[in-house]
Amino acid sequence: MRLHRTVLGLAGLAGAAAAGAMLARRMRGRRPDDADARRDRLQRQLAGVSSNGDQASRTASSR
């Protein structure tokens, strides 16, 4: 009985490690590895938000 629990525990650990490795690999493909690429993407997003915000404030003040 003790051998069954040991084998089951080791199988569970191996499964958790495999799932973690798959998740890490999937997440690595989604985000840029380069800090400069992240900075550029965030600056583009900020520019888009601030230009939309200016248009929204102009529309609200013209009413």
Tens of each residue's pLDDT in the chain, 63 residues? 899 999 999 999 999 999 999 988 888 777 666 888 889 989 999 998 887 766 555 555 555
Q: How far is 54 from 60, CA to CA, in rounded Å?
A: 10
Q: How far is 40 from 48, CA to CA, in rounded Å?
A: 12
Q: Is the dihedral of CA 45, 49, 54, 58 positive or negative?
A: positive
How many CB atoms neighbour CB 31 within 10 A? 10
Q: Which single residue is written with the structure tokens 């569970």?
A: 12
Statement: the pTM of the whole predicted model exceeds 0.95: no
To 10 degrees, the CA torsion angle through 32, 36, 39, 45? -70
